[in-house]
Each structure stands twice: as C-alpha cells, then as structure tokens.
Structure 1
Amino acid sequence: MKILVPVKRVVDYNVKVRVKSDGTGVDIANVKMSMNPFDEIAVEEAVRLKEAGIATEVVAVSAGVAACQETLRAALAIGADRAILIETSADEADNLQPLAVAKLLKALADKEQPQLVICGKQAIDDDANQVGQMLAALANWPQATFASKVVVAGDKATVTREVDGGLETLELALPAVISTDLRLNEPRYATLPNIMKAKKKPLDTVKPADLGVDVAPRLTTVKVAEPAKRQAGVMVADVAQLVEKLKNEAKVI
C-alpha cells in the first residue's frame, strides 16, 4: 500500500510573526521555517503504518518554492521513502490557495495511485483546514477528518475522530483521505544518521503545468493586520457594579 503525505513549509511555530509595513502579508524574511506541525504528525503516522508492515511506501509531497526541499528532506529523515516537490515561482507560492493545492494533489494522486492520503488537518499559517476535504471531493474518495486514531486492515481504514461532542468512529473503504489531529501521535525526532540518509533518498521535481493544473488564485487578499491589542482589565467592587458595566459599557446584556 502506498501512502501519500502532503507537507507544507511554514513559519516555525516558535516564531512570533510580524505583519509587513504595507499590510500585504506576513514578513518571512530571515525567519526560521519548518514543517507544519500537523503534517509532521501525518508523516509519523504514515511511517508507523509502514513499520507495522501495512504500508509499503511513503511518499512526501510539497508545493512551493525550491526551499521546500528542506521540508521534504525533513519528512525523508522521519522515514518517508521518497519525495516530490511541485515547484512554483515565489509569486505563485505566495498566492497558492487551498483549492489549487487540492487540484495539484489530485493530479499527483492520479499519477501515483496511492491507497491512502494522510495530511495535517490544517496549516498553522492560514488555518484554512480545507485541502483534505477538497482533495477528497475532487477525487471522490471517502474522508475522515481530525483523526485521533487510525487502524488500517485490508482495504478498509477505521478512524476515530474528535468532534465537539466527544469521539466518532468511521470505517472507510480505501482509497481515502485522512487528516490528522494533535492527539494522533507524537512525532519522532529525526536522528543524525537518518538525516544523512535523507540526503540520498530520491526527490523529484515537477511543475504545476506538468500536472495540467492552473494555480492562479481565486481570492485576493485586501489587507493583513495584527489583532487589536486587548484592553487592561477593570476591577469591580461587587456583582452589582459588574452587571452595570456589562449592561451600560460593554452592552452585552
């Protein structure tokens, strides 16, 4: 069984992002970049399925500029067998939207014929949470989102997913799309020997045009701004004063 794992290069989660002075986006100049944490979980789960003898090959794929090869090498160091970079220009990468990514993955899935696609539920830069669902719709495959447990047996996958009311268990016929939640697993640290081995693993590069996909954006970003700063709290003497402020100042009751 072949597993396809999309991974995204994002600003490291430890970095405090800054908005550009002209409000056109986030400043990533000289900023540490890393693999999206949810995608790390997806790679780890795919590698565990391979180690259990269920999967035979794990293929990591990323879309973006040439620097995304670093992210793919990180996935190879975790345990993926090979990688594919869908290389775009810098302008295309800045405006690469979820629908375009889903179309690229659909075209690649048609070529690679994986039995399972495991992706992070969302990226920490845009928090869109759309690619997995869109890919499943385009491919007409069953999907299970927010997975906290995955069991694959034969041509079916049983997925426990986190919902507002608790846990829900789904059974999917393969091929299928699964998106990972935080509690699915704890990604391993890549060891130095595996990092060295990752440099020799195959990494192919294709262009969106090679896949027959138009990545032109459908949406336009008008402005990017930092959230408004929270005002300092106010101490009140008693409940009556609290109610009065909520009613007359905050106007929430």
Structure 2
Amino acid sequence: MADADVRIPVSPAGQVLCAGANYRRHLVQMRFAAERRHGSALSDDDLVAESTSFVEGLAERGLPFVFAGLPGALSGARDDVILHGPGVEHDWELELAVVIGRPAWRVSREHAMDHVAGYTISNDISTRDVMDRPNFPMTDFLATKVRPTFFPTGPYLVPRQFVADPYDLRITLKVNGETMQDESTADMIFGIDRLVEHASSLIELRPGDLLLTGSPAGNAAHHGGRWLRPGDVMEGSITGLGVQRNRCVAPPD
C-alpha cells in the first residue's frame, strides 16, 4: 500500500471555489497583524478585543467571501508540492473541502446540504509575497494560489452521511512533525450551508465541484514567517477523512 498511486478523489475538470477568512481565530490573527502594520497604538489586549469584536460583527452582518481557484492546481494527497516562483513566502492552508453532488443554482440555506455529496481534505498553498499588487493589497490570487501542485487534495471522498457532524472535526497540519495548525471546524464563521447558498447565488455549482470552507489559525506568518522550503514534509489530517502527506521540492531548472 505504501507504493499505491493515490489520485485526486474528484474530477480535475470541476470548478474549485475557496472561502476566505472563514475562521474566527484566524481572522482575529489577521486583523491584529494588519492593524499593527498600520501603526495601531492599542495595547495587545485591547487590539485583540477590538479584532474579536470586528470578527463577531462580520459573522452577524457580513457575507461569506468566496473566490475562484483553478483545477489545474490540483494534485494528489501523496504528490510532491513544487515550490514554483515567483516569490519565496510559500504558506499552507489546510481546509475541509465540500464536494458538490447535485447541481446547485440559487439554492436556499435550508436546502443547501441536499446538494453536498461528501467531504475531502485540501491544502491551499499560497505564496504570500506576491499577493499584493501595487496599491491593491491582497488582490492577486492568480499569482498567489493556483500554480501546478498547489492544491493537494484527498486522499478520500467521504460521503456526507458518514460524517456525523462536519462542525466537530479536527484540522491538523504538521510540517516536519511540528504542529502548525490544530483547530476545530466549530470555529467556522459561515457554515457549509451558508457557503453553498452564497456560492450558488453567484454561479451554478455542478457535481464534482470543490468548495473549500476556509483555513483555521496557524499559518506561517503566525509562526514567525516560517515559510515552506524544499525538503519540508507537510502532513495534513481531518477527523475521519484520512491523512495527506506532501513533500515540498524545488522547481526544476
């Protein structure tokens, strides 16, 4: 079994959608860091409180943020991740991924889960130092997220009926054995039903499409800018969905 060729458990021709900023602790960390960069004079405790209040307000009044990925970036749960340039600040984002089972166009939140076939694991590799365009911060997702091999996915597609509670799963990402992300899906801001409702209000979802539900706290910047390097091994797991193990390698000459 160690030599098995573990393929992507969904069609590589399907659509890929990603929810951004969808975990409370992660968004608090992002808000805290952004305010510090912009010169906030608040104490750490006060800035955490302000950031937490901002996130809770978003959860109550905001809409999900969903952007498009590209299926050409998909790779398998045992494949190497090639750290293509430009940029060197390669980061991890382990996520619970929803697999669409029935066409969904403008479905209500109440009926959204009827269109979910099951769940798998995806790691949305992102190169942070090319994300900002001049005068347009955090806008260049094409340069940042969709290079070949940057979406390790799998190993399994677990049918929805075999996941008793998708909000009681543990997401864990280790790099060379060191835990970087370890969070419950209970920390989601917008649930799967809200994400499917919102995404289907904008585009038609089709069987086999992937909808990533967001990454929890613990990205590289939170660990002192410990970016991925050739030779690193990422091990990602989500309760009941298996384990993916991907080695990072330098791009070929």
Tell me the TM-score normalized by structure 1: 0.23
Q: Which has the higher contact order (CA 8 A, sep 6+)?
A: 2
Tell me the TM-score normalized by structure 2: 0.23
Q: Based on CA coordinates, which of the two structures has the bigger radius of gyration?
A: 1
